[in-house]
A and B are shown apart, each in its own frame.
Chain A
Amino acid sequence: MTRDEISQKVGNIVIKHFDIDSDKVTDQVRIKEDLDADSISVMEFVLELEDEFGTEISDEDAEKIETVGAAVDYIEKHQNN
């Protein structure tokens, strides 16, 4: 999957999960601060990423995913693992 394809899918999850407009989704959007996500919401988001891409994200790695772009980078890097 190309980065653009991953970015599109991650964007769709962000739009649906955090109920925001599509034009507000950029790589720079900070999940906790800009999307007002608390720990439960972040965990739900991480689990949705796992389901969508069939990859496992450890708790330690999940903590490092602070922006939408970081989520896309992570999936791109781990997609064949």
Chain B
Amino acid sequence: MRIAVDAMGGDHAPKAIIEGVMLAQEDFPELEFLLFGKETEIKKYLKNEKNIRIVHTDEKIESDDEPVKAIRRKKNASMVLAALAVKNGEADAVFSAGNTGALLAAGLFIIGRIKNIERPGLMTTMPTLKGAKSGFDFMDMGANADSKPEHLLQYGILGSFYAEKVRGIQEPRVALLNNGTEASKGSELTKKAYELLTVEPKIHFIGNIEARELLNGEADVVVTDGFTGNAVLKSIEGTALSLMGILKTSIMDAGIKGKIGALLLKDSLQGLKSQMDYSAHGGAVLFGIKAPVIKTHGSTGPEAVRYTIRQIHTMLESNIIEDLVTQFETESGTKNQ
């Protein structure tokens, strides 16, 4: 297994990326890495070069570069070269913490879609309140703002595959994000998607789910269009951050009694924090591409990189992409016309 790493993508690159690769090497000594970026910068953080090859390039895609133009014009950018390595069979997966749009474009236009998958989507595993290892696979988080009902059906199949093969869930429960649980609720898009999901034999569709129930662990896979998915993801993140902020301010303003109370609750609060830390599940997968294309947060640290590489390892080991290719290329039933 060989992973192509965009060593220059992200706010703390290449330091956080390379340190994360070093941590992942401890977990999976057999993994090979192709590191794309400035050799002198990368070498500063390399502890050893076992199973590692550096491909030097000075060019990189900036966070504010226009995605499609960037991958077409910056042909020697670290992200572009990493995607080309996968296209040319020199690596099995690509990992980046850089410009999300550019990585989507690199996945779509350099590596390419699995045949009959209409629109690859971004999927992440979100935590739930049902325990540290619980979570649900949420797709699409924003790759496609406009979706057709058939796309949501395909997200359901893709998410179900991921939940089963990568997270080991038997018969994953697939739900459709909607503004009510009844089948008649929602927009034209969700009503039509509901009909398609209901009759799809490859998945266990449990119906609609409302946004307020997402973190309660009632579904293993939740599908929605990219616009809604992105808005919901950011609402959850924003609400969590605001609540933590209010909690902190309340403690600091509560004087000595509040601080002692917080000290007594410290372990519980730490437990809560780690339970809700979604980086432990890895990064976001651009799912529907002919190889794993994984994005982790731009501000990511070495531990999150380690988790994401573990996720890539699991994906490669499970042969999920090969199974999806077989599933979608040999069957026309999921094809959108």
Contact = CB atoms under 8 A, between A and B. Distances in A.
Interface of A: 40, 43-44, 47, 59
Given A43-B68, A43-B108, 8 more contacts: A40-B108, A40-B119, A43-B109, A44-B108, A44-B109, A47-B109, A59-B69, A59-B72
A44 B105 CA distance: 10
A56 to B, nearest CB: 9
Contacts of A47: 109
13 contacts: A40-B108, A40-B119, A43-B68, A43-B108, A43-B109, A44-B108, A44-B109, A44-B112, A44-B113, A47-B109, A59-B68, A59-B69, A59-B72
Q: Which of B68, B72, B108, B119 has the most CB of A within 10 A?
A: B72
Interface in B111-130: 112-113, 119
Interface in B33-80: 68-69, 72
A47 B80 CA distance: 14
A5 B113 CA distance: 28
Nearest to B75: A56
Contacts of B113: 44
Contacts of B68: 43, 59
Contacts, number: 13
A11 to B, nearest CB: 19
A40 B151 CA distance: 14
Contacts of A59: 68-69, 72
Contacts of B108: 40, 43-44
Nearest to B112: A44
A65 to B, nearest CB: 15
B254 to A, nearest CB: 53
A17 to B, nearest CB: 11
Q: Which of A40, A43, A44, A47 has the most CB of B within 10 A?
A: A40
Counting from the closest, the 8 A-B pairs by CB-CB distance are A47-B109, A43-B109, A40-B108, A44-B109, A43-B68, A59-B69, A44-B108, A40-B119
B76 to A, nearest CB: 15
Nearest to B120: A40
A6 B109 CA distance: 23
Contacts of B109: 43-44, 47
Nearest to A40: B108
Contacts of A44: 108-109, 112-113
Contacts of A40: 108, 119
A47 B71 CA distance: 12
A40 B112 CA distance: 11
B260 to A, nearest CB: 57
A55 B295 CA distance: 31
Contacts of B72: 59
A43 B109 CA distance: 8
Contacts of B119: 40
Contacts of B69: 59
